[in-house]
Chains A and B, each alone.
Chain A
Amino acid sequence: MLELKDLVFSVNIKDEKNNDQKIDIIKGINFKFEKGKFYAITGPNGSGKTTLAKLIMGINRQTGGNIFFEDKDITELSITERAKLGISYSFQHPARFKGITFRDLLAISSQTDDEEKLLSIVRRMGICPLSFLDKPVDATLSGGEIKKIELATTIARNPKLAIYDEPDTGIDLWTIMPMVTLLKKEQKDKDTTTIVVSHNKSFFEVADTILILNGGNIVYKGNLEKALPILADFRICNFRPCKKGEKDARCYR
């Protein structure tokens, strides 16, 4: 349902001599996401996970390659157009507004302002108290509260493809499992293709496929069992002695 073909994302930065230097963040990714499956994307910091997720939503614009959604080439489509096709995105660091409440966002997201319908959405989420509805989505919210609201506004769109960028950041221990269950239930009940970017094993355990990114490439795709040794390897920085001794030791990972 979603296909990435030779997807590349590079940025230009200035080096010490003020020359333009091209850095590839995503280095030609090819992958097919199947309808109704649950994918967990993980990998070390800086491996390109968020960049990849943003490329799918159109927040970042690819510098090469193509993206197909339900066999339609969406490479040149805007965020708005992709959203209207059924792609929904949950930000790692959700925006904070002034004067806009959870009710406002939920009404935009679900395209209804009917009180009963909004309340039923919040109930369906199970993770946001009903009292959240009139909370302003501003700087007064805690990190966990705003993530719950972000998740709710993503799910409320009933998307065909839902992308969650680190949904568990700032979430308390007692909410992580209900959150995993919720995403899994949405996937099962609504056949939502689900992509979760995370470091949390709870998401890996319910995923159909784990993708490990490193250095802008997919270095592993498959089940959790075989992913574990690779993930364990990332946990430590492996300093290996080079020919010239410890002085030039580099971190290989």
Chain B
Amino acid sequence: MLDATDKNLLKTVADLEDLPQGAYNIRKDGKLLSRSTTANIDIEASEKQDGITVTIAPGTVNEAVHIPVILGKAGLHDVVYNKFIIGENSDVTIIAGCGIHCGGPEPEGHEGIHEFIVKKGAKIKYIEKHYAGGQGSGKRTLNPTTKVFLEENSKVEMELTQIGGVDEANRVNEAVLAAGSSLLVTERVMTDGNQKAVSRNKIILGGENSRSNMVSRSVIKGKSQQDFYATIVAKAKSFGHIECDAIIMDNGTNKTIPALRAEHPDAELSHEASIGKIAGDQLMKLMSMGMTYDEAVNIIIQGFLR
């Protein structure tokens, strides 16, 4: 059922050697490949549009859902709408990811629109990895959209990673936080060659004592381009922070625009942004421990994107 290329992509984007345990939904070339549900986690096809609805029963703990997407069909542009309803006081991990294998000259792309409704007191960790490979010259596009609605006292941690090979990415992340909820977003993007990646983020701190931290780490190699926009709007007594760092390796370009908007006198918002080359003192330190220049660069980048 899974061929060697599929397995390779699944390993890269979802750390899966084979079909996972527990609940999963694997989509290949725009169609369902395999699905499994558990007593607490239900997955069903959406009625209105192409995609799935994942419903996690209240109180579900220590369970994980894998929902990888793999593409290997020339010329396909797959659009999918997925919805996640996370029951009250549950604590689960959701592992998504999209791998493209491009073998020919035709373009291939995936647009995943993910909506999360995180009920009161629920906690989720969402891990999403994007990767494109293959020898073909076709343009590989990945345009993910993530919308998160956090109810009171819920917690969401999101790790969004674009590892490599994606020619064009337009990412949109939006979140609305109710009282006492918290959101941590860590985005890591590496681009090379003539690749282009744009990330637009909007976080609304709607409820009292909601808190959010948005961390972005960009590595820009070759002549690639990355633009990062992040806005935090505070509508209540809340805490928000944006931290965006970019390392430019060759002749890449980067634009970083963090924005803060306080609509409440007790809002506490901050941001820090930096763009630059790899720091000379870091290279010197590693070289003084016997590493070559190239080895030192690798270690610094790996750490930065960790």
Interface residues of A (CB under 8 A from B): 57, 59, 78-80, 83-84, 88-89, 91, 93-100, 104-105, 108-109, 111, 153, 157
Which residues of chain B come closer than 8 Å to A109, judged between CB atoms? 289
Chain A CB within 8 A of B288 CB: yes
From residue A107, how far is it (CB to closest CB) to chain B in Å? Answer: 10
Known: A95-B279, A108-B291. 16 other contacts (CB 8 A): A57-B288, A59-B288, A80-B292, A80-B293, A83-B288, A84-B290, A88-B288, A91-B281, A97-B282, A97-B304, A98-B217, A98-B303, A99-B302, A100-B299, A108-B299, A157-B289
User: Contact between B281 and A95 (Cβ–Cβ < 8 Å)?
Assistant: yes
Q: Which secondary structure dominates chain B's binding surface?
A: helix
From residue B77, how far is it (CB to closest CB) to chain A in Å? Answer: 35
User: Contact between B282 and A95 (Cβ–Cβ < 8 Å)?
Assistant: yes
User: Contact between A104 and B299 (Cβ–Cβ < 8 Å)?
Assistant: yes
**Cβ-closest chain A residue relative to B245:** A98
From residue A106, how far is it (CB to closest CB) to chain B in Å? Answer: 10
User: Contact between B289 and A93 (Cβ–Cβ < 8 Å)?
Assistant: no
**Cβ-closest chain A residue relative to B286:** A108
User: Contact between B288 and A89 (Cβ–Cβ < 8 Å)?
Assistant: yes
User: Contact between A79 and B288 (Cβ–Cβ < 8 Å)?
Assistant: yes
28 contacts between A and B (CB under 8 A): A78-B287, A79-B284, A79-B287, A79-B288, A80-B287, A83-B288, A83-B289, A91-B281, A91-B284, A91-B285, A91-B288, A94-B285, A95-B279, A95-B282, A95-B284, A96-B282, A97-B282, A97-B300, A98-B245, A99-B305, A99-B306, A100-B299, A100-B300, A108-B286, A108-B291, A108-B299, A109-B289, A153-B289
Which residues of chain A come closer than 8 Å to B291, judged between CB atoms? 80, 108
User: Contact between A100 and B292 (Cβ–Cβ < 8 Å)?
Assistant: no
From residue B188, how far is it (CB to closest CB) to chain A in Å? Answer: 10
The complex places the Cα of A170 from the Cα of B302 at a distance, in Å, of 29
Closest 8 CB pairs of A and B: A99-B303, A100-B303, A99-B306, A95-B281, A83-B290, A79-B287, A95-B285, A95-B282
Which residues of chain A come closer than 8 Å to B286, judged between CB atoms? 108
From residue A88, how far is it (CB to closest CB) to chain B in Å? Answer: 7
User: Contact between A98 and B304 (Cβ–Cβ < 8 Å)?
Assistant: yes
Of B217, B286, B289, B305, chain A has the most CB atoms within 10 Å of the CB of B289
The complex places the Cα of A132 from the Cα of B219 at a distance, in Å, of 28
**Cβ-closest chain B residue relative to A57:** B288
The complex places the Cα of A88 from the Cα of B290 at a distance, in Å, of 9
Which residues of chain B come closer than 8 Å to A57, judged between CB atoms? 288
**Cβ-closest chain A residue relative to B188:** A99
The complex places the Cα of A100 from the Cα of B287 at a distance, in Å, of 15
The complex places the Cα of A202 from the Cα of B291 at a distance, in Å, of 33
**Contact flags B73-90 to A (C-beta < 8 A → 1, else 0):** 000000000000000000
From residue B68, how far is it (CB to closest CB) to chain A in Å? Answer: 25
The complex places the Cα of A78 from the Cα of B300 at a distance, in Å, of 19
Of B299, B303, B304, chain A has the most CB atoms within 10 Å of the CB of B303
The complex places the Cα of A104 from the Cα of B300 at a distance, in Å, of 11
The complex places the Cα of A93 from the Cα of B299 at a distance, in Å, of 20
**Cβ-closest chain B residue relative to A82:** B288
Which residues of chain A come closer than 8 Å to B304, judged between CB atoms? 97-99
From residue A189, how far is it (CB to closest CB) to chain B in Å? Answer: 21
In the complex, chain B residues 244-296 whose Cβ is within 8 Å of any chain A Cβ? 245, 279, 281-282, 284-293
From residue B48, how far is it (CB to closest CB) to chain A in Å? Answer: 42
The complex places the Cα of A89 from the Cα of B282 at a distance, in Å, of 13
Q: Which of B279, B289, B293, B305 contacts A108 (CB 8 A)?
A: B289
Which residues of chain A come closer than 8 Å to B279, judged between CB atoms? 95
The complex places the Cα of A84 from the Cα of B306 at a distance, in Å, of 28
The complex places the Cα of A99 from the Cα of B291 at a distance, in Å, of 18
The complex places the Cα of A108 from the Cα of B303 at a distance, in Å, of 13
The complex places the Cα of A104 from the Cα of B304 at a distance, in Å, of 13
